[in-house]
Structure 1
C-alpha cells in the first residue's frame, strides 16, 4: 500500500475527522486468508471508508493503518483461525486494540448475506466490531508459552494414536494367517517381541514370511513410542517447575499430562467470573434447549478444547478405577456411577475435577481429601496472604 488513497469516501472521512475530532474514529474488519487478507474500514456512522486486499502480514496491515488512518483506529476485529494468534499478537505490539471473535458465531451472522466474498466478510466483521460485540463471544488469545505447551500435547497425542493404529493394523495382518498378538503391551519392545513370535509361528505352520513387510512397521511403532516418551519427559520437567501444576498433581488420578493440559487451556484464571464457567468453557456442561413449554437437557456440549476435555475424563476414569486413596470426591463419583452408570459418572467427575482444579489455582490452596477440611484450609491460606 505504497500508493496514496484517493477514493472519495476516504478523502471525505479524513476531512471530516480533521474538522470534527469526535468523528476521528475508525473500525477495521479483517478477513484473514492463508495468503491474503481482506481489510474493511468503517467510520463512526458505519459507512465504508476504504476496502483493500493485502498480504496476511501484521507488518503490512499495521503500516497501511498507521499511514492512512494515523492514530484514529478505534478497534480491529478479526475472527479466530490459524493465523489469528500471530496477527493479533503482532498488531497489539504495534499499539492497536484488537478483538478476536468466535469464528463459528461470526459465520452464523455473516451467513444472512446472499453472496459470500472476502470483501463482504471483512465488512461484516468490521460492522460486528463496531456495534455487535456484546452479542458475540470474544476469544482469549494465549501466550506463546501456552501455544508451545499445546503443540507438545498435540504432538504427543498424535504420536500415541498413530502408534496404536499401526499396532492394530499389524494385528489385523497377522490374524489373517491365524496369528494372535495378545494385548496389554505397555512398551513398543514388548509388542515387537510378541509380533515377531507370531510371525515366526506363521512362517513355520503356513509357510508365509511376514517379517520383511511387518518389521518396518514395528520400527515405526518404536519410533512413535520413543518420541512420545521424549515429549512426556519435557512436559514432566515443565510441570515440576510450575507450582500450580504441582498442586494439580496432588489430586489422585491427575498426572502430568492432565495438569499441564488444564494449565495451558486456562492460563489466566481471572478471566472467569464463576468457577462453574470453567466447566462450560471446556464443554463439560449439558446442552439446554428451551422453547415455549419444552425444556430439554441433552448431553454435554463438547465445546472448547477437545484434548483437555479428554484428559480430564481420563483423569476421572483413573480416579474411579485405579486409585486406592480415599477422598470425598472419589466417593461421590462411585456413588454416582452406581446410580447413573460408569460412563456418565466419569464425565460428571471430570466436570467436578475442572471446577476443583480451577479453585485450587484461584485460591492458592491444596487438594483436601475430605470435603470437611476445605473451609479451614482455605481460611488458613487466605490468612497467609499479604494484606
Structure 2
C-alpha cells in the first residue's frame, strides 16, 4: 500500500505477478472493510508516514503481519523515473517479496506513548527558547545591557526588565511574550509530570540515571527511542541509530577515510546526548578524563560528541547486562530519583522521614563521593596514558621502535 493522507493505493503480489487492487480511503471504517477482505496469511507492506502507525494498528488483527518500510533506505522509490502511486506500491511489494525491503521497528503502545510525550515536550521547549530569543533581540536592538540577574525571566529579572526604557509597542510585545512563556511553563509542568509518572515504574530509566550527567529528561528520551534494547545486537548498532558514527569513504585498495558523524537517525536524542556529555565532562570521573584526552587532540566540540558516543555505548552495555554504572555516586543518584518522584506528584518528606537523597545535601558526604570519582578519573588517565597508536599495516615486522631505544 502506498498511503497518503486521504487514500491508499493497493497492489497485490501473487505468484510473482502484480495486480492492481484500487484505492482505499484512509478512514477506520474503510480500512477495517479492506482488512476483512484479506486472508489471515496475507502480509501488508506500507511506507513510514505520519499515519502509518494508525494504519498498522487497524490492519494487524486481519492479516499475518504489517511491515513498515524505512523511507530513507527505499531508494528505488525516491529515484524512480516513472513515479506514480501504483508504481510505488508495486515497488514496495517487489522489494519485500525479494527480501530486500528495509523495515523499521514497530514500538509497543507504552513506548509509542512515551515517544509522543518526549516529542511534545521537545516542541514546547523549542517554542519557549524562540520566545526568549525574541525578548533578548528587543533588548539588543535598543542597547539595553545584559541583565545582572541569573534569569531574565524570573522574578528579579522581570523586575529589572520593567525598569528599562523601551517604546510602548515594544513593551506590549514583551508583555505578550511573557504571557506566552507563562502558559508554556504550565504546559511543560503537565508534560513533565506525565513523563515522570511513566518513568517511576521503568527500571531501565532508573538504571540510566546512575550515569553522571544523565538526568530524567535524557534517560526518558533514550528509552523512548531505544524501546527494546534486544533489537540492537551491538553497541555500534545503537551508536549508528543515533547518528553518532563517523562517515566512512573507501573504495578498492585505498585507505578508508573517516569524516564527520553521519547524523542519520533521531536528531532529538542525539542533541540530548551531547547536552548530557557536556554535563558529564564537567563532573569528576572517567568521562571527564576521556573528554580531556580527546579535547587535547581534536578540540572541545569533537570531544563533546565523542563523550556522547561513549554515553550511547555505556547505555547499551548497562541495559543489555542489566547493571548500573560502575562509578555512580549514590547520593547523586538518590537525589535524581527523589526529584523524579516529586515531579510525578509524590508527597514531600518532612521531619525524621528523610530518605537516602538527603545525603546529597550533606557537604561532607558529597565531597567524599566526588573524591572517589576523582580517583577513578586518575586511574583511567593512568590506564590510557600508556596507549600508543598502532603502526601501519604495511610496516615490516621486526623493525625496531625508536621509542624503545630511548
User: Would the TM-score normalized by the shorter structure come out above 0.5?
Assistant: yes
How far apart, CA to CA, are the structure 1 residues paired with 2:39 and 2:177?
Answer: 59
Match of 1:139, SS state, is coil
Say yes or no: does 1:52 pair with 2:22.
Answer: yes
**How many residues end up aligned between the 2 structures?**
329
How far apart, CA to CA, are the structure 2 residues paired with 1:64 and 1:157?
Answer: 37
TM-score by length of 2: 0.75
Match of 1:303, SS state, is coil
How far apart, CA to CA, are the structure 2 residues paired with 1:223 and 1:242?
Answer: 30
* 1:318-329 matches, cutoff 5 A: 318-321=279-282, 323=283, 326-329=284-287
* 1:95-106 matches, cutoff 5 A: 95-106=63-74
Q: Give the structure 2 partner of residue 42 of structure 1.
A: 13
How far apart, CA to CA, are the structure 1 residues paired with 2:209 and 2:40?
Answer: 48
Match of 2:72, SS state, is helix
How far apart, CA to CA, are the structure 1 residues paired with 2:60 and 2:190?
Answer: 35
1:181 and 1:194 in contact (8 A); partners too: no
Mark the CA change 1:71 to 1:96 in structure 2 (over 3 Å): closer, same or farther.
closer
1:58 and 1:91 in contact (8 A); partners too: no
Higher relative contact order (CA 8 A, sep 6+): 2
Say yes or no: does 1:33 pair with 2:1.
Answer: no
Mark the CA change 1:159 to 1:64 in structure 2 (over 3 Å): closer, same or farther.
closer
How far apart, CA to CA, are the structure 1 residues paired with 2:40 and 2:102?
Answer: 27
- Return the match for 2:312 from 349, 354, 360: 354
Unaligned regions of 5+ residues in structure 1, if any?
1-29, 374-387
Say yes or no: does 1:140 pair with 2:109.
Answer: no
Deviation at 1:112, TM superposition (A): 4.7
* Alignment deviations for residues 224-248 of structure 1 (CA, whole Å, 9 cap, x no partner): 2232233223323332332111111
* 1:10-29 matches, cutoff 5 A: none
Q: Give the structure 2 partner of residue 313 of structure 1.
A: 274
Mark the CA change 1:188 to 1:44 in structure 2 (over 3 Å): closer, same or farther.
farther
1:153 and 1:261 in contact (8 A); partners too: yes
* 1:218-237 matches, cutoff 5 A: 218-237=178-197
Unaligned regions of 5+ residues in structure 2, if any?
328-375, 381-406
1:41 and 1:51 in contact (8 A); partners too: yes
Mark the CA change 1:175 to 1:333 in structure 2 (over 3 Å): closer, same or farther.
closer
Match of 1:250, SS state, is coil
2:12 and 2:18 in contact (8 A); partners too: yes
How far apart, CA to CA, are the structure 2 residues paired with 1:291 and 1:275?
Answer: 26
Match of 2:44, SS state, is strand
How far apart, CA to CA, are the structure 1 residues paired with 2:170 and 2:281?
Answer: 42
Match of 1:105, SS state, is coil
TM-score by length of 1: 0.78
Q: Give the structure 1 partner of residue 357 of structure 2.
A: none
2:152 and 2:158 in contact (8 A); partners too: no
Q: Give the structure 2 partner of residue 89 of structure 1.
A: 57
Q: Give the structure 1 partner of residue 95 of structure 2.
A: 128
2:280 and 2:287 in contact (8 A); partners too: no
Deviation at 1:143, TM superposition (A): 1.8
- Return the match for 2:258 from 294, 297, 304: 297
Match of 2:21, SS state, is strand
Mark the CA change 1:220 to 1:117 in structure 2 (over 3 Å): closer, same or farther.
same
How far apart, CA to CA, are the structure 2 residues paired with 1:220 and 1:180?
Answer: 24
How far apart, CA to CA, are the structure 2 residues paired with 1:303 and 1:189?
Answer: 41
Mark the CA change 1:348 to 1:48 in structure 2 (over 3 Å): closer, same or farther.
same
Mark the CA change 1:49 to 1:213 in structure 2 (over 3 Å): closer, same or farther.
closer
2:35 and 2:63 in contact (8 A); partners too: no
Match of 1:76, SS state, is strand
2:67 and 2:103 in contact (8 A); partners too: yes
* 1:163-182 matches, cutoff 5 A: 163-182=128-147
Q: Give the structure 2 partner of residue 113 of structure 1.
A: 80
1:179 and 1:202 in contact (8 A); partners too: no
